[in-house]
């Protein structure tokens, strides 16, 4: 069970959409005339006049279920679940319709409701995305509905933007992080797929507070793509073998310089590459002098013993 919430300014377009689909069925209605679509729209619009200051009075929720649950999801069960969902979301004492669509293999219904209740008060949408997630989990557990194993179950070819880009990023990060030993490698691998990483810093410091991923014109916070993609969790994944972000970026900056330096064996090379860049490591006469004096002292001690 997944709930997708939208808000809008006009009932006409929303009602025509949910009732205009082929084989759409109006399962239940409350507080509106149902002789025709026009009657339904007019009923909703009349109530909005009680609170004309609310710019988006249209509430639209799509409740989708797994195809595994299809045998148990009769029309009556779908209405029961929709009404229980609305009560849990504090969507009460207002006009609404419940419409079932059959244009997908998975069962789903659309709820259109008036965010201006029967007393002219606004139905709050505060934290509705978070509450939606919690209510769906609660109802799935209560009614024994199927719990999908994860985002792998999503039919990505059916997605539209921005969800399409979000799932493409999810798939890419999931596949590439296991092949990367540090942030630099992950950035490089994702860049090959057209995905960039941005780090959010604390003020003017180098302290990293968050991470976001971009693909094309769309940018998402790591936690929006998946909870396991927050900066702290990804950084923890690399652990001691990974590089911190600032260090990784410095290595990236030095990469063009390294490419210009002829490669030699370790014994021949006067350069040592470190995490902070390139350092000269040529031996100096000052370093050799103490070693020479030490050898002379050892030789004298040996002669005295003899």
What is the pLDDT at residue 185?
92
| Ordered per-residue pLDDT tens for the chain, 306 residues | 899 999 999 999 999 999 999 899 999 999 999 999 999 999 999 999 999 999 999 999 999 998 889 999 999 999 999 999 999 999 999 999 999 999 888 899 999 999 999 999 999 999 998 899 999 999 999 999 987 665 656 666 677 899 899 989 998 998 898 888 889 999 999 999 999 999 999 888 888 989 999 999 999 999 899 888 999 888 888 764 444 554 554 444 434 433 443 443 444 433 333 333 333 333 434 344 445 455 555 555 555 555
Within the chain, what is the greatest distance between any pair of CA atoms? 121
What is the pLDDT at residue 245?
52
What is the pLDDT at residue 58?
97
In order of 69, 202, 223, 235, 276, the CA distances from 187 in angstroms are 40, 21, 17, 13, 18
What is the pLDDT at residue 303?
55
State pTM to two decimals: 0.54
71-110: b (≥16 Cβ within 10 Å) or e? eebeeeebeebbbebbeebebeebbbbbbbbeeeeebbbb
What is the pLDDT at residue 203?
87
């Amino acid at each position: 069970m997944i709930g997708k919430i939208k808000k809008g300014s006009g009932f006409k377009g929303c009602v025509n959409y949910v009732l205009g689909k082929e084989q759409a069925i109006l399962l239940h209605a409350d507080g509106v005339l149902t002789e025709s679509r026009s009657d339904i729209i007019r009923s909703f619009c009349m109530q909005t006049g009680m609170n004309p200051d609310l710019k988006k009075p249209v509430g639209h929720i799509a409740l989708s279920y797994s195809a595994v649950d299809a045998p148990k999801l009769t029309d009556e069960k779908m209405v029961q679940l929709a009404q229980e969902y609305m009560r849990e979301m504090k969507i009460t004492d207002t006009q609404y319709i419940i419409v079932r669509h059959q244009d997908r293999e998975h069962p789903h219904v659309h709820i259109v409701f008036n965010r201006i209740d029967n007393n002219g008060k606004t139905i709050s949408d505060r934290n509705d995305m978070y509450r939606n997630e919690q209510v769906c989990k609660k109802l799935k557990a209560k009614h024994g509905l199927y719990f999908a194993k994860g985002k792998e179950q999503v039919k990505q070819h059916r997605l539209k933007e921005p969800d399409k880009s979000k799932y493409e990023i999810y798939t890419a990060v999931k596949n590439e992080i296991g092949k990367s030993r540090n942030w630099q490698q992950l950035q490089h691998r994702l860049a090959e797929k057209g995905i960039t990483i941005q780090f959010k810093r604390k003020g003017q410091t180098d302290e990293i507070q968050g991470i976001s991923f971009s693909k094309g014109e769309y940018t998402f916070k790591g936690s929006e793509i998946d909870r396991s993609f927050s900066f702290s969790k990804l950084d923890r994944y690399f652990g001691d073998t990974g590089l911190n972000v600032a260090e990784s970026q410095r290595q990236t900056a030095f990469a063009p310089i390294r490419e210009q330096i002829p490669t030699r064996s370790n014994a021949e090379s006067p350069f040592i590459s470190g995490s902070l860049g390139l350092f000269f490591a040529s031996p100096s006469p000052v370093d050799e002098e103490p070693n020479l004096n030490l050898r002379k002292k050892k030789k004298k001690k040996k002669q005295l013993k003899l």
